[in-house]
Amino acid sequence: MALRLGDTVPDFTQASSEGEINFYEWAGDSWVVLFSHPADYTPVCTTELGTVAKLKLEFDKRGVKVIALSVDDVESHKGWIGDINETQSTTVNYPILADGDKKVSELYDMIHPNSLNSLTVRTVFIIDPHKKLRLSIAYPASTGRNFDEIIRVIDSLQLTDNHQVATPANWKDGDDCVIVHSLKDPEVLKEKFPQGYTEVKPYLRMTPQPNK
């Protein structure tokens, strides 16, 4: 069955461009972005993997480790990484799983045969330090992903976990946030949101972003 938000993600051991990886050990206490792509030496994937390499500082700041996957083998990944580095002016700084036996692809339901035969589509999973699935998206093979959006979601999830706020439509870092509806006690609200809040409706309370 497909993984659902809130599920504990399955552990696995698989080969990668950086040697064999046991996923839980490799992830440790970090957040993880696990993303699949259809095949090595393909144009859209080449731009995506380069873009993710360039975002390393942003992922590091948020305590996030990144790991990619395709069903090609380690030798293919290594050759292709050379092309990514050359054409995208970067250095791939995260492992690419070599899922030739489709062990991980099947565990994480990354193959959508009615869209793309036996290859993995562009799935993205955000996994928290407790190994809970917090976001899953599947993009078509022809659409390169917006990794700024993935970082935006990580920021939103971390704000919720750390400050008990949610984020409204089209929220960007620095915009006002929504106080989660479970917080009702006025004393607690005063303590948690010293910058104050605006009650638009009893169920819609806006506050400046707490960590700014």
- Which residue numbers are catalytic? 45
Torsional sign, CA 80, 32, 91, 150: positive
Q: Give the CA count within 13 Å in the CB-facing half-sphere of 21.
A: 22
State which residue, 118 or 170, has the beta carbon closest to ligand BEZ.
Answer: 118
**What residue type is assigned to position 151 of the chain?**
I
| Stretch in the footprint of ligand BEZ (CB under 6 A) among 15-23, 43-51, 67-75, 195-203 | 43-51
Alpha-carbon distance of 212 to 208, in angstroms, equals 8
Of 141, 150, 178, 179, which lies in the binding site for ligand BEZ, with binding defined by CB under 6 A?
141
| Stretch in the footprint of ligand BEZ (CB under 6 A) among 41-49, 99-107, 125-133, 201-209 | 41-49
Question: What are the φ/ψ torsions at residue 87 (nearest 5 degrees)?
Answer: -80, -25
User: Which element (helix H / strand E) includes 105?
Assistant: helix 103-107
Does residue 44 belong to the site contacting ligand BEZ (CB under 6 A)? Answer: yes
Does residue 50 belong to the site contacting ligand BEZ (CB under 6 A)? Answer: no
Q: How far is the CB of 64 from ligand BEZ (least distance, A)?
A: 23
Q: How far is the CB of 51 from ligand BEZ (least distance, A)?
A: 13
